[in-house]
Amino acid sequence: MLKTPWEYRYAHRAQKAKTSEIRELLKLTEQPDMISFAGGLPAPEVFPIKEFQQACNFVLNERGAQALQYGTSEGYTPLREMIARHNSRFSVPVTADNILITSGSQQALDFIGRLFINRGDHIVVESPTYLGALQAWSAYGAQYITVPADEHGMNTDYLEEALRVGPKFIYVLPNFQNPSGSTLSLERRKRLILLADQYGVPIIEDDPYGQLRYEGEHIPSVVMLDNQYRNDTDGEYSGNVIYLSTFSKLLAPGLRLAWVIAPPNVIQKLVMAKQASDLHTSTFNQQVAYEVAKGGFLDEHVKVIRSVYKERRDVMLEIMEEIFPTEMSWKKPLGGMFLWGILPQGVDAAEILKMAIQKKVAFVPGGSFHPDGGKNNTMRINFSYSSPDVIREGITRLGETLKEVFHKNGHK
C-alpha cells in the first residue's frame, strides 16, 4: 500500500493558506520568562471567577438537563433578549430577531464571509485592519480595497473612490481599532453612512472594545447612526449595517460568546450558516453568561475593567515617553487594548522583533495588518494583559532593543 498524497487532495482555498513567518516567530514568545505584548489577551485578573462559579452552580442545579442538551442555532433566547434590551437602551433599538449568538466574533466574521463573498469579490477595509477578518475572508477568495486611516480612523475622503469599484461591503472597526488603537470620528461615521447608502454598499461594524473607553466622550455606534439617518423607529433594526460585538472583552474569551446584530432577513441567513458549521454555540456557556450578566453585573464590571486597563495604558505611555528613543513615535489610544508604534521609514519591525525576543520581550510587527502591503515600520503593542510592573520591565527591555537598533543604524 502507498501513502495518501494528502497535499494534492486539499481544496484550492486550503492550499493557499500558509502559517505566517510572524506566527512562527511569535511561537517563541510562549517561553515562560518572555514578556509578551504580542497577544490580544484580556487581563485574567478581571475575570469574574466567583460570579462564574455561582452561575455554573445555579444553571446546573436549576436546569442542568436543558443547559447540557442541544440548543437552537439562533442562540439561547433569554440571552438574545437581554442583548436586545441592553442594545436598545444604549444604541439602536433591536429585538431578539436581530440577534445571532456566535462562538466568538471570529465566527461572525467567518459567517459573513460565507454569506457574502464570492471568489474575487472586493471588500473595503481600513489599512491597517484586523488580521482575523483578513484570514477569515481570504479563505473565501476576497480581494481588498484599502482606504488609508489615521488617528481618527478610516479617512472617508478616500472612501468614495473605493466604493466605485463595486465592493461587497465595507469593514470598519470604529472604536480603539485593533491594531492601530484609532477611533473613527463622529463626522467620519456620518460620512461613511451617507456614502455607503449612496452606493448601496452595506457596512460591517466590528466593535469588540466599544465599552472600553478610558477618556473622552463615547461616540454613537455606526449602526445607531445609520438607524437615526433612516429615521426608523419601529423597534426592529432593518438598516444597512451588520454590527458585531463580544463577551470576550467584557466577561471572558474562554467562553467563546459573541453576537451579531443585523436585519432579521440577514440573521436568518446567518442562522443557516451556523447550522451547517457547528449547529449552535454551547448551551451551557450561553446560560452561564446570561446568569452572570442578567442583573446588570456588566455595567459595574466594565468600570473595573476600564480602570485596570487605563492604568496599564498610562504606565506604558509613561515609560515609553521616558525611555524610548526619539526615532520611535506612537499614538495614545483612547480605549481598547492596543497601542500603535511607528518606526522611521525603512526600519523593519519584524527585524526588531527578532532582536526583542533575544531580550525576552515581544510585540506584533504591523506589516501584516496592511492588506496593501508596506508599512513594515509599524508595531502593535498590547497593554491590557500584563500587570503594571511587568509593563515597566517589558517596555524597558523594548526601549533597550530600540536604542541598540538606532545606535547600530547610525540614527541618533
Query: With CB under 8 A, what is the number of residues at the site for a copy of itself?
Result: 86
Q: Which residues pair with 206 in a beta bridge?
A: 244
Q: Residue 229 and residue 366: Cα distance in Å, rounded?
A: 35
- Among 82, 94, 117, 402, which residue interacts with a copy of itself (rule: CB under 8 A)? 117
Q: Residue 383 and residue 297: Cα distance in Å, rounded?
A: 24
Looking at beta carbons only, is 63 or 354 nearer to a copy of itself?
63
Looking at beta carbons only, is 165 or 276 nearer to a copy of itself?
276
Burial of 70 (0-12, 13-18, 19+ CB in 10 A): exposed
**Contact range with a copy of itself by CB under 8 A, out of 195-203, 214-222, 290-298, 300-308:** 195-203
Asked if residue 29 binds a copy of itself (CB under 8 A), the reply is no
Asked if residue 25 binds a copy of itself (CB under 8 A), the reply is no
Tell me which residues in 76-105 interact with a copy of itself (CB under 8 A). 102-104
How many angstroms separate the first and last alpha carbons of the chain?
65
Query: Do residues 225 and 194 lie in contact, with contact meaning Cβ atoms separated by under 8 Å?
Result: no
Looking at beta carbons only, is 170 or 342 nearer to a copy of itself?
170
Q: In what order do the strands lie in the sheet with 258-261?
A: 99-102, 258-261, 241-246, 203-206, 169-172, 122-127, 143-150, 153-154
Tell me which residues in 347-406 interact with a copy of itself (CB under 8 A). none
- Among 32, 33, 118, 410, which residue interacts with a copy of itself (rule: CB under 8 A)? 118
- Among 31, 49, 218, 358, which residue interacts with a copy of itself (rule: CB under 8 A)? 49
Contact pattern for a copy of itself over residues 135 through 164, marking x by CB under 8 A: xx--xx------------------------
**Contact range with a copy of itself by CB under 8 A, out of 1-9, 154-162, 208-216, 335-343:** 1-9
- Cα 60 to Cα 64, 247, 295, 400: the distances in Å are 4, 21, 19, 52
C-alpha angle 351-355-360 in degrees, rounded to nearest 5: 135
- Among 148, 160, 164, 272, which residue interacts with a copy of itself (rule: CB under 8 A)? 272
Tell me which residues in 3-22 interact with a copy of itself (CB under 8 A). 3-7, 9-14, 17, 19
The helices-and-strands tally (H runs, E runs) of the chain is 15, 14
Asked if residue 31 binds a copy of itself (CB under 8 A), the reply is no
Looking at beta carbons only, is 276 or 304 nearer to a copy of itself?
276
Tell me which residues in 321-350 interact with a copy of itself (CB under 8 A). none
Q: Residue 237 and residue 232: Cα distance in Å, rounded?
A: 8
